[in-house]
Structure 1
Amino acid sequence: MKGQKSCMKGLYLGVAVTVYACWLMVQPEAAATTESKVCYARKSPCFLKKQTCPRQCPSFTPSGGRSKVCVVDCYNPICQPTCRNRKPNCNGKGSACLDPRFIGGDGIVFYFHGKRDEHFSLVSDSNLHINARFIGLRPSGRTRDFTWIQALGILFGAKNQSFTLHATKTAKWDHNVDHLRLSYNGNDVVLPERDLSVWKSPEDDIRVERTSDKNSVLISLSDMVEIWVNVVPVTKEDDRIHNYRIPEDDCFAHMEVQFKFMGLSPRVEGVLGRTYRVDFENPAKPGVAMPVVGGEDKYKTASLLEADCKRCVFGSGQLAGDSPEKIETVVTSQGTVDCTGGGSSGVGIVCRK
Structure 2
Amino acid sequence: MKMHTLISLFVLSCFLVVLVNASKAACKDPYYGKCYGIPLACPPGCPKLCEIECKACKPYCACDKPGAICQDPRFIGGDGVMFYFHGKKDKDFCLISDPKIHINAHFIGKKSKKGRDFTWVQAIGLLYKQHKLFIGAKNVTHWQDTNDNILMHFDEGDVQIPLGESREWRSPKAGIIVKRTSMTNVVEVEVLEVMKMKVRVVPITMEESRVHGYDISEDGNCYAHLELGFKFESLSGDVNGVLGQTYASGYRSRVKMGVAMPIMGGAKRFQTSNIFSVDCVVSRFGLEMSI
| Smaller-chain TM-score bracket | 0.7 to 0.9
Q: Which amino acid letter does the alignment assign opposite residue 189 of structure 1?
A: V
CA 88–268 in structure 1, closer or farther in 2 if over 3 Å, else same: farther
Q: Secondary structure at the match of 1:238?
A: helix
Q: Does 1:302 align with 2:280?
A: no
- 8 Å contact from structure 2 (residues 149, 201) kept in 1: yes
Q: Does 1:120 align with 2:82?
A: no
Match of 2:135 in 1: 165
Instruction: Report how far residue 217 of structure 1 moved.
Output: 0.6
Q: Does 1:233 align with 2:211?
A: no
Equivalent in 147, 154, 158 of residue 126 of structure 2 = 154
Q: Does 1:212 align with 2:185?
A: no
- 8 Å contact from structure 1 (residues 116, 145) kept in 2: yes
CA 83–114 in structure 1, closer or farther in 2 if over 3 Å, else same: farther
Instruction: Report how far residue 55 of structure 1 moved.
Output: 2.2
Match of 1:55 in 2: 33
Q: Secondary structure at the match of 1:239?
A: helix
Match of 2:149 in 1: 179
Q: Does 1:109 align with 2:82?
A: yes
Instruction: Report how far residue 109 of structure 1 moved.
Output: 0.3
Match of 1:317 in 2: 288
Alignment partners' CA distance in 2, 1:34 and 1:212: 15
Instruction: Report how far residue 281 of structure 1 moved.
Output: 1.5
Alignment partners' CA distance in 2, 1:105 and 1:131: 17
Match of 2:168 in 1: 198
- 8 Å contact from structure 2 (residues 238, 249) kept in 1: no
In the TM superposition, what are the counterparts of 1:73-152 in structure 2 within 5 Å? 89-139=62-112, 141-152=113-124
Alignment partners' CA distance in 1, 2:187 and 2:107: 20
Asked which structure has the greater CA Rg, the reply is 1
Instruction: Report how far residue 142 of structure 1 moved.
Output: 3.2
Q: Which runs of 5+ in 1 are unaligned?
A: 1-32, 36-52, 60-65, 71-80, 319-326, 329-353
Number of residue equivalences:
251
CA 88–135 in structure 1, closer or farther in 2 if over 3 Å, else same: farther
Identity of aligned residues (%): 39
Instruction: Report how far residue 54 of structure 1 moved.
Output: 2.8
Match of 1:10 in 2: none
Q: Which amino acid letter does the alignment assign opposite residue 158 of structure 2?
A: D
Instruction: Report how far residue 286 of structure 1 moved.
Output: 2.2
- 8 Å contact from structure 2 (residues 94, 270) kept in 1: yes
Alignment partners' CA distance in 1, 2:53 and 2:170: 20
Instruction: Report how far residue 249 of structure 1 moved.
Output: 2.3
Q: Which amino acid letter does the alignment assign opposite residue 85 of structure 2?
A: F
Instruction: Report how far residue 248 of structure 1 moved.
Output: 2.4
TM-score normalised to structure 1 length: 0.67
Alignment partners' CA distance in 2, 1:204 and 1:301: 24
Alignment partners' CA distance in 1, 2:286 and 2:262: 32
Alignment partners' CA distance in 2, 1:58 and 1:90: 22
TM-score normalised to structure 2 length: 0.80
Alignment partners' CA distance in 1, 2:61 and 2:95: 16
CA 300–289 in structure 1, closer or farther in 2 if over 3 Å, else same: same
Q: Which runs of 5+ in 2 are unaligned?
A: 1-27, 38-49
Alignment partners' CA distance in 1, 2:126 and 2:109: 21
CA 57–199 in structure 1, closer or farther in 2 if over 3 Å, else same: farther
Q: Spell out, residue by residue over 1:200-241, the C-alpha distance to the aligned partner (whole angstroms, 9 max, x if none).
A: 014261111111110001110100110011111001111111
Q: Which amino acid letter does the alignment assign opposite residue 92 of structure 1?
A: K
CA 204–118 in structure 1, closer or farther in 2 if over 3 Å, else same: closer
- 8 Å contact from structure 2 (residues 124, 135) kept in 1: yes
CA 199–283 in structure 1, closer or farther in 2 if over 3 Å, else same: same
Match of 1:254 in 2: 225
Q: Secondary structure at the match of 1:90?
A: helix
